[in-house]
Structure 1
Amino acid sequence: MPGLYFEEFEPGMVIDHPTRRTVTEADNTLFSVMTLNLAPLHLDAEYSKNSIYGQRLVNSLFILGLVSGVTVPETTQGTTLGNLGFEQIKFPKPVFHGDTIHVRTEIVSKRESKSRGDSGIVMFRHLGLNQRDEIVCDALRAGLMLKKPVAAHA
């Protein structure tokens, strides 16, 4: 499914994305090492046994990337000019190896671009949920979205 154009988004719209992903130890280790986040909570099983979680945590920035990425096919693939930024990011519950993440997107608002006639700004709220439907990531993101081509309006 291609992404949606600016006109196709409506505040209150909810998209339950069909792609789900089980997070693995390899995902967590590779991402943490590639980004030089060497926190023992992500990499050291013995250290993590004595933490408040009793086990290693999945790197939260991996989860943010996963949650954002899962949304692309149904929201922005081929119809975005760029990610304008995140206004809020929360991780209310931890993610552990073996958790399966699914994503729900809510359209919070939209407005015409003040500087570009071919696009508008859509505010997305992406919710990453685990297999128990607990929110593990709550991100508010602004995207610069293309309007439908003029030929499509005719």
Structure 2
Amino acid sequence: MLSEEPTARGLASGLMIANHGTPVLLELAYESWYYHLVDLSNKTVNGLMMPESYFEEFEVGDSTESKVARTISESDVYEVAGLSGSYGELHTNKEYMKKTEFGQPLVQNTLLIVIMEGLFKRVKWEPAIIAAYGRDNLRFINPVFIDDTVNLEMEIVDKERRDSGGVITMEQRLFKQNDDLAVKGEYLLLVESQSES
């Protein structure tokens, strides 16, 4: 069974990605109160070494959720628009969107995926990841708006042994503050086997 506590490797890797990645990721990393608990030099949380979890330790049906939620700001939306070069009216034109069924700008799907990745770094699991294997069946079910707060829930739905480690399939569900399901999809990770460590 997996530990209930967050682990330093995931938190640290989220911060390192942020330091070499986009301003959006940087903001996601520094917003976490966990940031103050993490010692990047020796991968500890509150002074305790946190182990990685191997393929064999995950079971179909295991579930978790992010320890923190994330409120989406207007600057998040504009940063993604600037980084991508996509200033579509659906996301950046308040007056245009007032005339639509939504009544206000929508948060970009790409931003929601980035936020899901950031929230993944704040769950109780710390897989010994070899590589991200992909995303399947990704659906954007309900609109997300500026100032919505989202939280991530995950469940292991499949495991497949490979020559090197194994693929773990997690169903990820991103919920808004009113419990509306915003995004649902499968996230596949290639994870080390304990025998290979």
Q: Same fold (TM over 0.5)?
A: yes
Structure with greater strand share of residues: 1
| Structure 2 unaligned spans of 5+ | 1-5, 8-51
Which residue in the other structure is 2:3 paired with?
none
RMSD: 1.8
Corresponding position of 1:45: 94
Cα deviation, 1:51-84, whole Å, max 9, x if unaligned, reads 2201000111101121122113436656101111
Structure 1 residue 106 and structure 2 residue 155: aligned?
yes
Superposition map of 1:1-154 within 5 A = 1-2=6-7, 3-74=52-123, 77=126, 79-113=128-162, 115-116=163-164, 119-148=165-194
Instruction: State whether residues 4 and 74 of structure 1, in contact with CA within 8 Å, keep that contact through their aligned partners in structure 2.
Output: no
Partner letter of residue 100 of structure 2?
S
| Over 4 Å off, 4+ runs | 75-78
The count of aligned residue pairs is: 148
Q: Of Structure 1 and Structure 2, which has the larger fraction of its residues in helix?
A: 2
Change (3 A) 1:139 1:129: same
| 1:85-107 per-position Cα deviation (integer Å, ceiling 9, x unaligned) | 11111111000011000010010
Name the CA distance, whole Å, in 2 between partners of 1:94 and 1:122. 28
2 CA distance for matches of 1:17 and 1:4? Answer: 17
Answer whether contact 2:148 2:177 (CA < 8 A) is retained. Answer: yes
Tell which has more relative contact order, 1 or 2 (C-alpha 8 A, sep 6+).
1
Once the two structures are TM-superposed, the CA of residue 150 in structure 1 deviates from its matched residue by 5.8
